[in-house]
Structure formats: structure tokens, C-alpha cells
Amino acid sequence: ELPENWTDTRETLLEGMLFSLKYMGMTLVEQPKGEELSAAAVKRIVATAKASGKKLQKVTLKVSPRGIVLNDSGTNELIENVSIYRISYCTADKIHDKVFAYIAQNQLNENLECHAFLCTKRKMAQAVTLTVAQAFKIAFEFWQAAKEEKEKRERSILEGEGTSSPSSEAPAHPDASAATGNLLDLEDPAKSPLTSSTNSPHVDNSMFGPSSSVNNNVVWEMDDGLDEAFSRLAQSRTNPHVLDTGLTAQDIQSAETLSPVDWNKIDSNTGEKDDLFMF
């Protein structure tokens, strides 16, 4: 269920919401979701972090419908860029209640990885979880629109081929692809969210959101590999258009008491200690 201020949240999410956290580490998991699965993974990550005795890395986590972008807070160096379509689960851990964790499929080897982050408060962990879930909802809407538009184009091409002479069949496919271009590219952080083609001059690259249309229908296109990955993950979800989270209704209500703009300001002046041994 979405908060009452969802419209405001949506606008903020399109630009990307920033959270200052501490990266605890990653471990491989066998399944794409599950509270017990993620709890066991977080337990392993916490134990490894404690055993290392090292200070946790301060990071900035940017959440948008494109996915999660992780940067080192000190150097601003890119650590991780994971597409929202590869994220299958996120949660505020029940035992280590200041820990936010998500499970995602690795882009290179397709392993399922659980990444964990230390937050300043439980409410912060809940807020990050809710934000990722809401970003997923927007991304799913974009994906559905792209899928429907792609199917409509393919039907149109097939119908056109059925009535065309052989000599006119060849340009049908290039024209169809040129009309949309690859408008949704979520894999490469260096690319802008939208890439317009020469036949789509009205695409606004300044914000993550479709502004190009064909017959009043928003046009989106995505990489086939991503499409397949997202389809597989969607099938494993309890409700395909909602990202599974470990949040209860009470958790969500607690996180919603904060304005989205304030979510990343919780206890920003907290001391430097990592609290790893205070769990």
C-alpha cells in the first residue's frame, strides 16, 4: 500500500532519492526472496563485518526507478549500479533492526546476491525499503507500457507484411525500431535515462520519465536481456507488480510518518561509531 503523499514521493523518486548509509557487505543466496533467507544472509554479513574489525564504508545510496546506484561518500567513486529490474527483494532486518538489505541478480554471472547496509535508525532502514518498493512500482508501470507498445508494434509490422509487396517488406523493421529507439537503458550508469532517436525529437532527457508518445501512447523500450531477467523475477513474486519486502503494515506506517524529503535526514548528525557490536 502506498502512502498518502505518493504523488509527491513519485516526483521525488523520478529524480532519485539519496540516503547516507554504511555498507556492510554482500553474500550469495539461493533464492530471490524470503524473510528467513535474507535474515540468514544478513546474519552472515554482520558476522563477517564484526570479524574483520574494519570500519564500515560510508556510502551514498541513490534510489530511483532506474535502480540503486551506490557511491563512496568520500571519493564519490561508483561502487555498484544495479537495475531495479534485477532487484527481487528488500527488507529492514527484524533481528539487526538498523540494517537495510536487498537481494539482486548479478548482471555478469546471474548469481543472486544479498547486500546489507547499516542505517542510523530502524525507521531509516524501513524508509529505504519502502522507497525501493515504490521505485519498483514506477519501473513496473514503465515496463508494462514498453511491453504493450512492443507487442502493438510487432502486430502492426506483421499486419503490414501481410498486405505489402515483397519489395516493401525490408524497410518495415528498421522504420519500426527507429520510431522508438532504445528509450529505456538501465544498465549503463554513464547513459542518460532516456535516449531519443532522430524520429523522437520530443524526448526530455532531463528527467527519468517518458515524454515521447505515438498516438498518445507513451513509448518505452528496454534491452531484451533485462526484459527476460525482469520477467523471470516477476514470476517469482507474490504479486508481480509489487516488490516483495519484509515490511509489515506497522513498519510501513512507521516509515510513512516521515516526509520523503526527510527520509535521508534521519539522525544525520549521529556519531561515527558503527554500532556493529551493539546489535
pLDDT for res 227: 62
Does residue 223 fall inside a structural domain? yes
Same domain for 113 and 55: yes
Does residue 28 fall inside a structural domain? yes
C-alpha dihedral, 279 to 132 to 48 to 22, nearest 10°? -70
Q: Which cell is 150 given?
A: 512492443
Which of these ranges, 11-20, 54-63, 114-123, has the smallest mean pLDDT? 11-20
Share of the chain above pLDDT 90, in %: 39
Nearest CA to 54 out of 27, 78, 25 is that of: 25
Residue with cell 544478513: 42
Does residue 21 fall inside a structural domain? yes
CATH number of the domain that 45 lies in?
Answer: 2.30.29.30
Same domain for 123 and 42: yes
Does residue 1 fall inside a structural domain? no
Does residue 111 fall inside a structural domain? yes
Q: 227 — phi, psi (to 5°)?
A: -55, -45
**Residue 179 DSSP class:** H
C-alpha dihedral, 26 to 28 to 29 to 35, nearest 10°? -10
pLDDT for res 243: 64
Q: Which cell is 167 given?
A: 519489395
Same domain for 123 and 250: yes
Same domain for 94 and 157: no
Tell me the mean pLDDT in the region 49-59: 95
pLDDT(100) > 90: yes
Same domain for 256 and 203: no
Same domain for 203 and 183: yes
Nearest CA to 81 out of 68, 92, 90 is that of: 68
Share of the chain above pLDDT 70, in %: 54
Cα 260 to Cα 8: distance, rounded to the nearest angstrom: 8
Domain encompassing residue 158: 140-234
Query: Which helix (DSSP H) or strand (DSSP E) does residue 24 occupy?
Result: strand 17-29
In sign, the C-alpha dihedral spanning 257, 128, 233, 64 is: positive
State the pTM of this model: 0.64
Does residue 254 fall inside a structural domain? yes
Same domain for 196 and 68: no
Same domain for 205 and 129: no
Q: Which cell is 60 given?
A: 551514498
Tell me the mean pLDDT in the region 268-277: 50
Q: What 3-state DSSP class applies to 132? A: helix
Same domain for 159 and 88: no
Same domain for 144 and 20: no
Q: Judge whether 12 and 263 are in contact, CB under 8 Å.
A: no
Cα 148 to Cα 240: distance, rounded to the nearest angstrom: 16
pLDDT for res 273: 55
Cα 44 to Cα 95: distance, rounded to the nearest angstrom: 12
Same domain for 203 and 129: no
Q: What amino acid occupies position 86?
A: R
Tell me the mean pLDDT in the region 90-116: 94
Give me the number of domains the chain comprises.
2
Q: What confidence tens digit (pLDDT) does each residue in 201-241 have?
A: 332 333 333 333 333 333 344 555 556 666 665 555 555 55
Same domain for 273 and 144: no
Q: What 3-state DSSP class applies to 249? A: helix
Q: What confidence tens digit (pLDDT) does each residue in 234-261 have?
A: 555 555 555 666 655 555 555 555 545 4
